[in-house]
Chains A and B, each alone.
Chain A
Amino acid sequence: MATKELNVSLDAEGFMTDPNQWTPEIAEAMAEEEGIAPLTERHWQVINWVRKEAARTGEFPSLRAISKRSGVDTKELYELFPKGPARKIARCAGYPKPKGCI
């Protein structure tokens, strides 16, 4: 299913604007568009940890935080979510585009 048909609000780049609307089906649809479907148990470990952490702190965690504490290291993150893991993880986890720090 394409993410446009999911009946959730997306921004111009296809990121969800309201993480509360997220469902596991959305993650699968996003993964499809990102070319990383089907999601494996290791993908889910990251997505679930990120959603829990973001709910706890109110902020989407940095890639460094994910690699340190989700149980999946940076090398594997790049294998699971190649070319820009932060952005792909954010899409699958239903969060807006991570703000590039400046």
Chain B
Amino acid sequence: MKRLLILGGGTAGTMVANRLVRELDMNEWHITVVDQDEIHYYQPGFLFIPFGTYGKADVMRPKRDFLPREVEVIISEVRLIEPEKNLVHLVKENRTLRYDYLIIATGSRIAPEETPGLMEEEWRKSIFDFYTPDGAVALHRFLRTWRGGRLVVNVAEMPIKCPVAPLEFLFLADAYFHDRGMRDRVEIVYATPLSGAFTKPIASQQLGDLLEQKNIQLITDFNIAGVDVDKKAIVSYDDQRVEFDLLVSIPTNMGSEVIARSGMGDDLNFVPTDKHTLKARDYDNIFVLGDATNLPSSKAGSVAHFQVDVFIENFLRYIDGLELLPTFDGHANCFIESGHGKGFLIDFNYDVEPLPGMFPMPGIGPFSLLRESRINHWGKMMFRWVYWHILLKGREMPIPAQMSMAGKWQR
């Protein structure tokens, strides 16, 4: 029996487990999935919790329901990976697992403790996150009775999971305050370390214009050094101060602690990974999928999905002794909620930035690219169903793994 071990049963880990049991001969392979948490969270749903669109129960399901019956599932923290010895040590019952191949899908988490002042007295009083279910729920409670003031949304540091989420939060907040008849009593400010609204020029321009239309103030090149808790202000390394009544922080994102403990990560605990094959840079029997990589692609479920497609094909070659093909192109595909029942769709990869146009999708689409439309919003709302029933189960999605230029307008 060959042993394949998957660390992490989140979006990437679950998808890859479902695909592997179908592609491998399960009489020859033993697959184990290890995760510390029994609950699978639909993370794209967290964004909607502060505004009351979803509750916590809408984004939670038991992990086991989405993992294939053929795999062994162990709920435990991972104590240490010893890549030179092909061993993984678990906390639970001090178990040690040996592997022939290891897939690291341990994801990323927010690390508010990295920014001084963030997690002190004002944490969850006037400072919130929406990247955790508890944070999103606490923010919902706060917003229900808030009478207005200065809302500051701040990204601490790049890279972050779902780089469009802060913009979506701003657009949804604008709509939420409008609907409650209090938009005139809320000042909305976006302080970002980037030089524009977004990372890529054309999308940055379009989304920046939308911020302006919605009367949201944009402060660029703002690198937070800490929070002045007494004065309720965020302070940058070059001593700019932005005062807030309500701070919604997207804290520093980091990979799992076990990556650091095992000496396998970079300065943010992300695992150095080959950009095009997804093999760990330093190990020949380890692959890295989803948010756990250090790749310059988005940390997002769509990216994990495209990675899994590419990985499966490559892994089947690899175990037959063939070389890996450099087939992962950094493809990402994201719906961006823009408020009032509308949304954007962007589709891009390592080399091609998000472009305007039409995105073809048999049966449902086309969706408009980089332009607001109602169908894009419905695409996003429908996606929760697609996520649980199609995406996680590793069933066929009508989007190719590699980005296509079809429908995109080039200048």
Is A102 touching B238 in the complex (CB atoms < 8 A)? no
12 A-B interface contacts by CB (under 8 A) = A62-B268, A64-B157, A64-B267, A77-B237, A78-B237, A78-B238, A84-B195, A100-B158, A100-B194, A100-B199, A101-B199, A102-B297
Closest to A65 in B: B267
Closest to B295 in A: A101
- The reply on A82 being an interface residue by CB < 8 A is yes
Closest to B160 in A: A101
- The reply on A99 being an interface residue by CB < 8 A is yes
- The reply on B23 being an interface residue by CB < 8 A is no
Is A101 touching B296 in the complex (CB atoms < 8 A)? yes
Is B199 touching A74 in the complex (CB atoms < 8 A)? no
Q: Cβ of B195: which chain A residues have Cβ within 8 Å of it? A: 84, 100
Given contacts A65-B267, A74-B237, A78-B238, contact A102 B298 (CB under 8 A): yes
CA of A101 to CA of B296 in the docked complex: distance in angstroms? 6
Q: Cβ of B44: which chain A residues have Cβ within 8 Å of it? A: none
Q: Cβ of A100: which chain B residues have Cβ within 8 Å of it? A: 158, 194-195, 199
- The reply on B266 being an interface residue by CB < 8 A is yes
Q: Cβ of A64: which chain B residues have Cβ within 8 Å of it? A: 157, 267-268
Is B221 touching A83 in the complex (CB atoms < 8 A)? yes
CA of A98 to CA of B372 in the docked complex: distance in angstroms? 31
Is B221 touching A84 in the complex (CB atoms < 8 A)? yes
CA of A84 to CA of B272 in the docked complex: distance in angstroms? 25
CA of A74 to CA of B226 in the docked complex: distance in angstroms? 12
CB of B366 to closest CB in A, whole Å: 24
- The reply on B159 being an interface residue by CB < 8 A is yes
Is B268 touching A101 in the complex (CB atoms < 8 A)? no
